[in-house]
């Protein structure tokens, strides 16, 4: 079955063609980062307008790159939520009309479930059950995944998402947006244990996160040391990143032990952070737990993961109708 996937929940317009849920024939991502960069974050109204401009050329490109014709497409899947309402509406309405015009089944996909599905698009896939972390600019959620459509939410952030903390600290350090990749690069040259930033909610059995204290602590440090050198900037970046990695790794390994799982899968924009994935893998290895992460181009938002999740929904007859709408917030469980 050939599925056209469409994603437009935030600041990337994406389309992909995926065969049988795992074989990516094409994956096109039109990023709006250049536009939002100067505002230090995503401006929702601008995002919606840019999705409108990009959606048709992006879908055309995905079809051309996959070397297929319109008639080859068997089903359509698009992100239904969570995300920015105006942005979601563009991709969802486009997909709905496309499916209606061609009389194809249409699945409205949960963006967070789709991130977990990005783990099934590589050569090394986690077997069920496994612990999944979806860690991005909007979410830091831990799930116990027991089957293709059973995701038990074990914990989530009570304030900022981990990616959001990376972006806000990068802004404080005047490093630009998005903050994750810049901080990771800068941190590479420094000992991450020099400045001790706080780690929150580490008591046993608690799988929730809180990063606002860490963010405030970095802000206070910068306030108290206003004329920091480039070298000190890198030091702050390294110590901040270490605090995030420490909390994410500890919670994930404890969640795996709690559920007696031998596998952890990380997905979402922050899982592109190699320092995180390597440190987590090292720590997990001691506990005989394997760690899985998507290929770097599938860590952030993409439509291949939407098509992959859509494929199982279509197979199970979980379809959307013309009167179905998008949603901005949800949990999956």
Interacting residues with ligand KG4 (CB under 6 A) = 10, 136-138, 163-164, 166-167, 178-181, 184, 268-270, 272-273, 300-301
164 scored as a contact of Zn ion (CB under 5 A): no
Residue 197 beta carbon to Zn ion: minimum distance, rounded to whole angstroms: 26
Which of 91/268 has CB closer to ligand KG4?
Answer: 268
Which of 6/73 has CB closer to Zn ion?
Answer: 6
Residue 240 beta carbon to ligand KG4: minimum distance, rounded to whole angstroms: 11
Which of 136/241 has CB closer to Zn ion?
Answer: 136
The interface partner of residue 179, options being Zn ion, ligand KG4, none and the CB cut-off 5 to 8 Å by kind, is ligand KG4
Q: Show the 3-state SS of the chain.
A: CEEEEEECCCCEEEEEEEECCCEEEEEEEEECHHHHHCCCCCCHHHHHHHHHHHHHHHHHHHHHHCCCCHHHCCEEEEEEECCCHHHHHHHHHHHHHHHHHHCCCEEEEEHHHHHHHHHHCCCCCCCCCEEEEEECCCCEEEEEEEECCEEEEEEEECCCCHHHHHHHHHHHCCCCCCHHHHHHHHHCCCCCCCCCCCCCCCCCCCCCECCHHHHHHHHHHHHHCCCCCHHHHHHHHHHHHHHHHHHHHHHHHHHHHHCCCCEEEEECHHHHCHHHHHHHHHHHHHCCCEEECCCHHHCCCCCHHHHHHHHHHHHCCCCCCCCCCCCCCCCCC
Task: Point out which span in 64-72, 131-139, 246-254, 274-282 binds Zn ion (CB under 5 A).
Answer: 131-139
Which of 136/235 has CB closer to Zn ion?
Answer: 136
113 scored as a contact of Zn ion (CB under 5 A): no
# of chain residues touching Zn ion (CB under 5 A) = 2
Residue 162 beta carbon to ligand KG4: minimum distance, rounded to whole angstroms: 7
| Of the candidate residues 62, 207, 301, 302, the single one contacting Zn ion (CB under 5 A) | 301
Residue 228 beta carbon to ligand KG4: minimum distance, rounded to whole angstroms: 21
Which of 41/213 has CB closer to ligand KG4?
Answer: 41
Which of 17/270 has CB closer to Zn ion?
Answer: 270
Residues that bind Zn ion (CB under 5 A): 136, 301
């Amino acid at each position: 079955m050939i599925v056209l996937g469409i994603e437009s929940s935030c600041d990337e317009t994406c389309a992909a063609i995926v065969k049988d849920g795992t074989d990516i024939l094409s994956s096109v991502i039109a990023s709006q980062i250049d536009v939002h960069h100067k505002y230090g974050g995503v401006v929702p109204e601008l995002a919606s307008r840019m999705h409108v401009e990009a959606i048709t050329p992006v879908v055309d490109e995905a079809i051309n790159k996959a070397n297929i014709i319109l008639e080859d497409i068997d089903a359509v899947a698009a992100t239904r939520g969570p995300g920015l309402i105006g942005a979601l509406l563009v991709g969802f309405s486009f997909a709905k009309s496309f499916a209606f015009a061609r009389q194809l089944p249409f699945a409205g996909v949960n963006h967070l479930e789709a991130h977990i599905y990005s783990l099934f698009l590589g050569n090394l896939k986690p077997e069920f059950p496994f612990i999944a972390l979806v860690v991005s600019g909007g979410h830091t959620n831990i799930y116990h995944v027991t089957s293709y459509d059973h995701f038990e939410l074990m914990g989530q952030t009570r304030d900022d998402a981990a990616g959001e903390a990376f972006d806000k600290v990068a802004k404080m350090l005047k490093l630009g947006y998005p903050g994750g990749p810049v901080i990771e690069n800068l941190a590479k040259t420094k000992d991450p244990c020099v400045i001790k930033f706080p780690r929150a909610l580490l008591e046993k059995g608690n799988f929730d996160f809180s990063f606002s204290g860490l963010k405030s602590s970095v802000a206070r440090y910068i306030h108290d040391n206003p004329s920091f050198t480039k070298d000190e900037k890198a030091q702050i970046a390294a110590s901040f990143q270490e605090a995030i990695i420490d909390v994410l790794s500890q919670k994930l390994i404890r969640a795996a032990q709690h559920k007696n799982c031998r596998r952890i899968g990380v997905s979402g924009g922050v899982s592109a952070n190699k320092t995180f994935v390597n440190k987590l893998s090292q720590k997990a290895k001691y506990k005989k737990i394997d760690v899985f992460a998507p290929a770097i181009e599938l860590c952030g938002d993409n439509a291949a993961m939407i098509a992959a999740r859509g494929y199982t929904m279509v197979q199970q007859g979980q379809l959307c109708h013309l009167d179905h709408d998008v949603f901005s917030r949800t949990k999956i469980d």
